[in-house]
Amino acid sequence: MSAQTQEPRIPRRRAPILITIGVVALLVIGFFVFVGLYADVLWYDQLGFLNVLTTEWIARIVLFLIGFLAMAVPVWASIQLAYRTRPVYAKLNSQLDRYQEVFEPLRRLAMYGIPAVLGVFAGVSASSRWELTLMWLNRTPFGTNDPQFGFDVGFYVFELPFYRSIVGFASAVVLLSLLLVIATNYLYGSIRVSGREVVISKSARIQIAVTAGIYLLLQAISIWFDQYATVTENSTLMTGAAYTDVNAVIPGRGILAAIAAVVAVLFFVTAIIGRWRLPLIGTALLIVSSLIIGSLYPWVIQRFQVDPSARSLEAPYIERNIDQTRDAYGVADIESIPFEAKTDAEPGALRSDAATTANIRLMDPLVISPAFQQLEQFRQYYQFPDALDVDRYDIDGTTQDTVVAVRDLALSGLGDAETWFNSHIVYTHGYGLVAAAGNQRSVDGQPVFLQSGIPSTGVLGEFEPRVYFGEDSPSYSIVGAPDGSDPVELDYPAAGASTDEQTYTTFEGDGGPKLDNVFTKLVYALKFQSEQIFLSDAVNDDSQILYDRDPIERVKKVAPYLTLDSDTYPSVVDGRVVWIVDGYTLTDQYPYSNKVSMSEAIADSEGLPQSLPFDEVNYIRNSVKATVDAYDGSVKLYAWDDQDPILQTWQKIFPSTLEPMSKMSGDLLSHVRYPADLFKMQRAILGRYHVTNPGSFYSREDAWTTPNDPTAASNTQLLQPPYYLTMQMPGQDVPAYSLYSTFIPEARGEQSRNVLRGYLAVDSDAGSTDGERAEGYGKLRLLTLPEDDNVPGPGQVQNTFNGDPTVSQSLNLLKQGQSEVINGNLLTVPVGGGLLYVQPVYVKSTGNTSYPLLQKVLVAFGDQIAFQDTLDLALDVLFGGDSGAAAGDEEVEPGTTPTTPPEGGEQPTTPTVPNDETQALLNEAKVALQNKQAALAAGDWAAYGAADAQLAEIIAQLIQLNQPDTNPQ
């Protein structure tokens, strides 16, 4: 008989497998996190700003550890103390027994896990405040004191927010500890509820009382700090402490802070004597006091003392608000100029403003983008932005306003050829900057290009035309190759669009991290989720990967403390195309300065509200001018306002990242401009704060607002944007590149009128001397029109244009064949002792390849308007046959270089012109001839006969007027 032995079955052990899977998963996740961090290191290091990244990382890590320990240790210690001092033989009810049975197996995990989880959340919260902490550590005094407490403004900007955040964090730690202490003591019987009686053990009483006392002490400190916050808080009247705040709220908060401190002491006493009556009474007193002193008393003061005499009582505080607001927004030194605007268009009125008239821009950058696309795109893989930019260049000694854009890539235009190799290896860059004269038009209404074509030619000189870094560049491109290898990057189609030949190039700059080893290739293959980066033979040891190519994005990454202007623009500077980006330093803690929503203030018909990380502000400085090289992506930051204490603080945090303004070349300075977003913020403030009398300010007797864009759709309320123009304001000796906006009375129901009340302009010319900013740059001038002046506002002028029978008739003729008539930007120019309105009118025919052509120009001065083919003709008609100045829109043949207005506005020769009466008749004859031709084309014989009769009568008048005098002398 044989016996069989059976081996015991070994139970499957799943734990090691699960642990292995978990470890592998953590390693994979950790590796992907490492890949992202390492790629950031490579990117910042290549750009020369690695210290920005490491400083932020170190600050975040240190604050995370501090936050973690500051939360986890007190919470853990509180739970441990409550547990260790629990009664050994506590009598528990059956429900608590069940709770203990469930909780006991998890006790150790909970006692360590709860503090750890809370610590992680606290650490993340603390690390997010790295900027606030570093600014406190490196704070810089402003040198001015607030008018209420006498503290330096830097106390409110750098210190008070930090102190309040520390108190808030500590309060959260203590409160959570208190709640967990009570829960632990209750669970283990240190706190028992017997009927209406609550029995607390001695150890629990001491721990709870001390913790509660600490919490009340922190609240006392918080309430004390709240006194100072009144000067930065909003009220219904203004930002800052008003009469009620100074005489009721601030003293009340001081009293409440003292009461809270006394109650905290009572809790400490309870920890010793064991009686809860006093701290409970004190807590009730604190609550009642907060209602009476903190709410009821200020309401009584406001209702029965301030409201009946608000104008006089609030006057000193309104004056504080006015002064501090104007300082914080940089408008304290604005020059206010009373302006008695003429409304009668007299012959020769523009003679003294010839230079301004010659520079009036007719090319609307928001309208003519399709013309750039059709005339200068050349290939389907190129594109131009929908909104072009405005710049200026010195051409033959004369400043010429231009409309500019770069010819960037549009990979979607490749269609079926949009493969990985083409999208990231071959099509790597745009080509050329295209510039058109702002005040010129060709014979058929096209833009007149100063710089155009492929290869790029024009009057801007020789420069590197390749655009590897632009607003619409591909997400990433791989460039570079060994010496001697055949280039594979498409440079441009040879000879423009007339041939299929292509010219290729190889990137020779230092624009991105190098892919010179297997590990780096793997890192970027994972980052961009493309195995081609790792496998492609086009990627070699000399390859570089270019990404994060948008100029604003690049500056934002290397200067995280800046809020950037919403618009960047390209310029040819020192033989390179560079993007110029304006950076702002902001705060919302400037005492007594009015707070404004930046996203709302900068929103207009050119750009809708955008999401900003720092939206409500009450202090702004254009502290940094940044440039991004369009070829190699290099970023330079220049300290434009080195007196700004916030910028000085960040310079301490990130030393050597900013260069002084003295390092800026004269060529770069000649393209720097006053930033539009800052100007929009200032005009939003000046709508009310142009008034400096507290009484008038309180009554809002002369409040202004920015008019809505008259060319926008009627169902929208978008503001009219400011415009860049070269012009001469009253108070200026010569014309300067400027940015302007207008004001109309603030809407008050149906009583509001669209008439001009103010005209704001700022000198935007920074000069052209190396390292020296022009003295006049940033000078704000405000033309204030008298109340009885009825100079029409933009909306009123647009309505006049649209409602004029002659204009409507001409526009209807232009719309024949379903053509679209587009009204360009309505410009307001201070010339001739008044305000001249100029609006280009474009016609766009049907068809996918059509584009707007400038066909007419509308002008208005006072209540008089004119509508002609050119600005020159329109001005002559408007001003009685002779405006006295030549506009810059003489017709130029397409492809030729336009003439430039003479420097200083003086005409080189005195032209021979007909007398006023003859000129007016000639203009009428031209209109009659156009009407006659239009009627003939439409087959309207009645209109044709009327126009022919009118023309014959005008000719007869001209013959009679110009008949030589044959009478003997």
Measure Cα distances from 505 to 423, 427, 789 in Å. 16, 11, 63
Distances (CA, A) of 792 to 727, 769, 836, 863: 21, 40, 10, 8
What element of type H or E holds 502? strand 502-505
Residue 682: half-sphere exposure toward Cβ, Cα within 13 Å? 32
The pLDDT value recorded for residue 751 is: 57
pTM to 2 decimal places: 0.86
List the one residue out of 839, 827, 618, 616 whose CA is nearest residue 723: 827
Amino acid at 512: G
Helix, strand, or coil (residue 753): coil
Q: What is the pLDDT of residue 190?
A: 77
What is residue 726's three-state secondary structure? strand
pLDDT of the residue at 99? 63
- Is the Cβ–Cβ distance between 648 and 624 less than 8 Å? no
Identify the CA nearest to 723 among candidates 826, 620, 569: 826
CB atoms within 10 A of CB 815: 12
Structure tokens at 586: 């902001």
- Give CA–CA dist 140/458, Å, rounded: 49
Query: In 635-721, which ranges are continuous DSSP H helix?
Result: 645-653, 666-669, 676-689, 694-699
Helix/strand number for the chain, H first, E second: 30, 36
User: Residue 156: what pLDDT?
Assistant: 97
CB 179 within 8 A of CB 215: no
Specify the pLDDT at position 894: 52
Containing H/E element for 324? Answer: helix 315-328
DSSP string, 805-838: HHHHHHHHHHTGGGPEEEE---EEEEETTEEEEE
Cα–Cα separations (whole angstroms), residue 466 to 385, 520, 629: 17, 27, 10
Instruction: State residue 425's pLDDT score.
Output: 95
φ, ψ (nearest 5 deg) of residue 120: -65, -45
pLDDT in the model for residue 3: 47
**Packing angle, helices 50-84 and 160-187, rounded to 10:** 30
Q: What are phi and psi of 136, to 5 degrees?
A: -65, -40
pLDDT at residue 10, as a whole number? 46
What's phi and psi for 543, nearest 5 deg?
-75, 150
Backbone angles phi, psi at 15, to 5 degrees: -60, -50
Q: Look at residue 497 in the predicted model and tell me its pLDDT.
A: 45
Residue 451 to residue 778: CA distance in whole angstroms: 29
Contact (Cβ atoms closer than 8 angstroms) between residue 742 and residue 759: yes
Rounded to 5°, the CA angle 63-67-71 comes to 170
Contacts of 96 (CB under 8 A, 6+ apart): 186, 187, 189
Residue 519 CA to its chain's centroid (Å): 39
10-residue stretch averages of pLDDT, the chain, 969 residues long: 48 71 86 92 96 96 97 94 77 61 74 93 96 97 95 96 96 95 83 75 90 96 96 90 95 96 94 89 94 94 93 94 96 94 88 89 94 91 94 90 95 91 95 94 90 91 95 95 91 64 90 94 93 92 95 96 94 96 96 94 81 81 97 96 96 95 96 96 95 91 91 84 93 91 81 84 95 94 88 91 85 78 93 93 82 92 90 90 82 51 36 50 67 66 68 70 49
